[in-house]
Amino acid sequence: MNRSRIVSTAPIDRIARDILEQIAPVEISPAPDEKTMLGMLENTIALVARGVEGGVTGQMIRACPTLRVIGRPGAGYDNVDVATATEHQIPVVYAPVAGFAVAEGALALLLTLVKKIPLCDSIVKSGQWKKRYELTTGDMAEKTLGIIGCGRIGARLAQLAQPFGLKILGYDPCVSESLFKDFVMEMVSLRKLLQESDYISIHVPLTRDTQGLIDKESIALMKRGAILINTARGGVVKNLDVLADALESGQLGAVGLDVFPVEPPDSTHRLFKDPRLVCAPHLLGVSDLAMDRIYRSMSQDMVAVLGGKQPKYCVNPQVLKQ
């Protein structure tokens, strides 16, 4: 009897289960922690690393001699020990196919903060209509948007933002100068972007180089009253304190977050008492269309690997058999 199975650290959509179950039954772990997962690895041929907290650790990979592929439903894979997977010749497939949803989410946060929607909403609902005469809202036209990270998501945000009449600056050390001509933004140094942007949106992966990239020193370079958006990875911002300090001092005018240095964040932190913060629970990229594309792509690539074929998106393609 074939006792092989596929295990996910957390629930996955039906479309992914339908595709994966062509190969083996899919089981969902009752909890995403390493201890629980270690008890579910017998005869496991594939792992799905669902959610930021649902990682695949080196210990899990070493404890699973039957493992043949790891799937990550999304563009980020910092919760998978890729080095250990590569050492054991295990392909890690991911799904960078839904950047449009994250870009839309970043733009939504920006518009919400520029136009002060939460404040306006609270004024009407609390019966303080006359406060409208004490307020103004911000503009997109004739302002400068700085995009840190100009891959699929950052480039898409630039396209979405262009009709608003913004000047758009981009910074990405990994983008070749030969590609600049295809961008609807001016590529500049990080320092210049920080100094000249009214609004800044982060779209870089979490690496050793980007860990804590936004800290006290980088915020000090920004225009006073700048708006900062982060829909990338929480660890790109050093900690919640630097954001709270910047809001309290007025160095930042507002902050929009879909991601946090630690998830879930400590909601008792003073940052969450500031009305100039608007946030979401790492959810802005989880649209209906995005998740359908992500789960189809990931599960089809996992099936490809298990069938001895080449996946479309692989983090460590050097382990694939040609």
Could you tell me the two tokens for 45? 């041929």
- The residues, ordered by sequence, that sit 6+ positions from 322 with a Cβ below 8 Å of its Cβ are none
Q: Is 282 a catalytic residue?
A: yes
CA distance 280 to 157: 18
- The residues, ordered by sequence, that sit 6+ positions from 29 with a Cβ below 8 Å of its Cβ are 7, 8, 9, 10, 36, 37, 40, 54
* 34, 123, 235, 260 from 79: Cα distances, Å: 12, 41, 12, 14
CA distance 306 to 310: 10
Q: Which of 5, 156, 203, 282 is catalytic?
A: 282
Q: Which of 5, 50, 156, 233 is catalytic?
A: 233
Q: Which of 186, 263, 269, 293 is catalytic?
A: 263
Are the C-beta atoms of residues 100 and 294 closer than 8 Å to each other?
no
CA 170 to chain centre: 18
Which residues form the catalytic set? Answer: 233, 263, 282
